[in-house]
């Protein structure tokens, strides 16, 4: 029998869960390096603009649809459809979301597995297990396979426990720790030589970069990935929000938290890179650009921690704990999408669904691990650059063109009775109907020109 639907027990619980989904490797790794590569504060400016003008309205569409339908993504979109065609469209968008998020999780878990291995390494050093410590930080199929499985097990464990006892409980523990570790690391790194150079690279805008067509594409991709949009994650979390919650308000708090933590992470990563440079670590690739891909996290920063002497181990453990926490609160939100679907549609018990689906995703991850050079980049591009923004666009079409406007307002009014005359309602309906779809489409198509 399917278990009854869960619900977040408090506003704080929802905020931590949704911000936990949003804040992930995308914020701590993706955003700062994207900014460093694309004109520093100019990228920040474009990102803020797109996050609030395009991603926030799309986030609201998912939250409203989810809370109204109180169901998984596929059922929710079918429910708000108005005829056979829009129902088929809803089924397609929901199913594509499930497929996309499962593949996102399959590559995300690989990178998160690296973070786990790097987190354990300083402890292995302290215990004098030098060979093991070395193995943990050396690239290899066995290490990658083992840690992807461990990471998926952690994700499955939390999701098996349900909305309150799993997602909410862990998000409310982990997210405050994340903020605390991040702040401590920023304060520490700022005291080191070279940090101000990094701040300059991050915060002094090069507005010429705004003219690069790729800047907007990167900023939009970053904003959609960062807010976990298009794949039904926010819809499913929205379906667990109490009817008495003020949706526009908590949606904007989630967006603010996500953007705020990305901006804060920039205050850590960029200064850390220039501190590394000051201590002799290479931070530029052969092409002269800053090292931004996996090399940044698994070679530049570890080299920096190594150069710090005894305290380096503590800083490394704190940094990788930060990464693991960020990953885990995101990965649980990804697994929740297919699990909620199977639990509700097929009347399977939650733990069984979590183990089965998590297991299938882990197998996909293992296939990618075994064929890393051929598969990894393509899976990332296909899911995050091709599929996710397009699905975000479909959600806007659903909320702006298919779903009945007065039902939307009724839904929002449940938690905020005066919403009909408020700022949000004056702007959002027009925005989600015209501005968002056109802007997303324009930016999306730009990547093919
Ligand atoms: N928002 C996460 C990050 O910034 O790392 C990634 C993510 C989570 C993408 C959940 C998609 C998703 F459904």
- The 3-state DSSP class for residue 244 equals coil
DSSP 227: T
Answer whether residue 260 is part of any domain: yes
Answer whether residue 2 is part of any domain: no
Answer whether residue 161 is part of any domain: yes
Summarize pLDDT for 366-402 with one digit per residue, the tens. Answer: 999 999 999 999 999 999 988 998 999 999 999 999 9
Atom 12 of ligand 1, residue of closest alpha carbon = 228
Cα–Cα distance, 79 to 312 (Å, whole number):
54
Mean pLDDT of 305-316: 92
Per-residue pLDDT at 68 exceeds 50? yes
Would the CB of 231 count as within 6 Å of ligand 1? Answer: yes
CA angle centred on 64, ends 52 and 324, rounded to 5° = 65
Q: What is the pLDDT of residue 4?
A: 62
Answer whether residue 51 is part of any domain: yes
Answer whether residue 3 is part of any domain: no
Summarize pLDDT for 323-364 with one digit per residue, the tens. Answer: 999 999 999 999 999 999 999 999 899 999 999 999 999 999
Answer whether residue 405 is part of any domain: yes
Mutate to test the pocket of ligand 1, among 20, 24, 257, 384 (most ligand atoms within 8 A of CB): 24
Mutate to test the pocket of ligand 1, among 66, 99, 108, 297 (most ligand atoms within 8 A of CB): 108
- The 3-state DSSP class for residue 422 equals coil
Answer whether residue 6 is part of any domain: no
Contact 89, 403 (CB under 8 A): no
Summarize pLDDT for 397-416 with one digit per residue, the tens. Answer: 999 999 999 999 999 999 99
Mean pLDDT of 182-187: 96
Cα–Cα distance, 449 to 426 (Å, whole number):
35
Summarize pLDDT for 417-444 with one digit per residue, the tens. Answer: 999 999 999 999 999 999 999 999 988 8
Residue-range definition of the domain harbouring residue 24: 11-446
CATH code (residue 367): 1.20.1740
Mean pLDDT of 163-167: 96
Ligand 1 centroid to residue 124 C-alpha, Å: 30
Answer whether residue 4 is part of any domain: no
Domains contained in the chain, number:
1
Burial of 256 (0-12, 13-18, 19+ CB in 10 A): middle
């Amino acid at each position: 029998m399917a278990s009854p639907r869960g619900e977040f027990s408090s506003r704080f619980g929802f905020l931590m869960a949704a911000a936990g989904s949003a804040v992930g490797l995308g914020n701590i790794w993706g955003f700062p390096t994207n900014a460093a590569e694309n004109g520093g504060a100019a990228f920040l400016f474009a990102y803020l603009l797109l996050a609030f003008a395009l991603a926030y309205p799309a986030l609201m569409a998912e939250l409203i649809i989810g809370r109204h339908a109180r169901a998984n993504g596929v059922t929710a979109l079918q429910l708000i459809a108005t005829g056979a065609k829009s129902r088929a469209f809803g089924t397609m968008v929901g199913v594509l979301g499930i497929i996309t998020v499962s593949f996102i999780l399959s590559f995300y878990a690989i990178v998160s597995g690296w973070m786990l291995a790097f987190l354990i390494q300083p402890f292995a050093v302290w215990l004098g297990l030098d060979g093991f410590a070395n193995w943990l930080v050396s690239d290899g199929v066995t290490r990658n396979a083992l840690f992807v499985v461990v990471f998926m097990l952690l994700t499955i464990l939390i999701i098996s426990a349900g909305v309150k006892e799993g997602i909410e409980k862990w998000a409310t523990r982990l997210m405050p720790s994340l903020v605390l570790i991040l702040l401590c690391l920023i304060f520490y790194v700022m005291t080191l030589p070279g940090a101000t150079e990094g701040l300059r690279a991050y915060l002094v805008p090069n507005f010429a970069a705004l003219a690069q067509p790729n800047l907007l594409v990167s900023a939009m991709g970053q904003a959609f990935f960062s807010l976990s949009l298009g794949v039904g994650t926010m819809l499913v979390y929205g379906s667990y929000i109490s009817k008495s919650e003020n949706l526009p308000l908590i949606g904007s708090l989630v967006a603010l938290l996500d953007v705020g933590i990305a901006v804060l992470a920039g205050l850590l990563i960029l200064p850390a890179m220039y501190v590394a440079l000051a201590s002799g670590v290479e931070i530029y690739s052969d092409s002269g650009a800053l090292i931004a891909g996996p090399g940044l996290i698994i070679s530049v920063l570890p080299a920096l921690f190594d150069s710090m002497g005894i305290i380096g181990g503590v800083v490394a453990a704190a940094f990788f704990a930060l990464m693991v926490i960020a990953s885990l609160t995101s990965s649980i939100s990804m697994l929740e999408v297919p699990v909620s679907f199977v639990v509700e549609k097929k009347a399977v018990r939650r733990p069984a669904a979590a183990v089965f689906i998590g297991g299938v995703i882990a197998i996909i991850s293992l296939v990618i691990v075994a064929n890393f050079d051929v598969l990894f980049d393509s899976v990332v591009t296909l899911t995050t650059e091709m599929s996710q923004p397009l699905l975000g666009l479909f959600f806007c079409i659903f909320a702006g063109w298919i779903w009945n406007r007065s039902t939307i307002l009724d839904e929002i009014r449940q938690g905020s009775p005066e919403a009909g005359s408020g700022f949000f309602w004056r702007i959002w309906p027009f925005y989600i109907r015209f501005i968002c779809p056109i802007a997303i489409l324009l930016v999306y198509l730009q990547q093919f020109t």
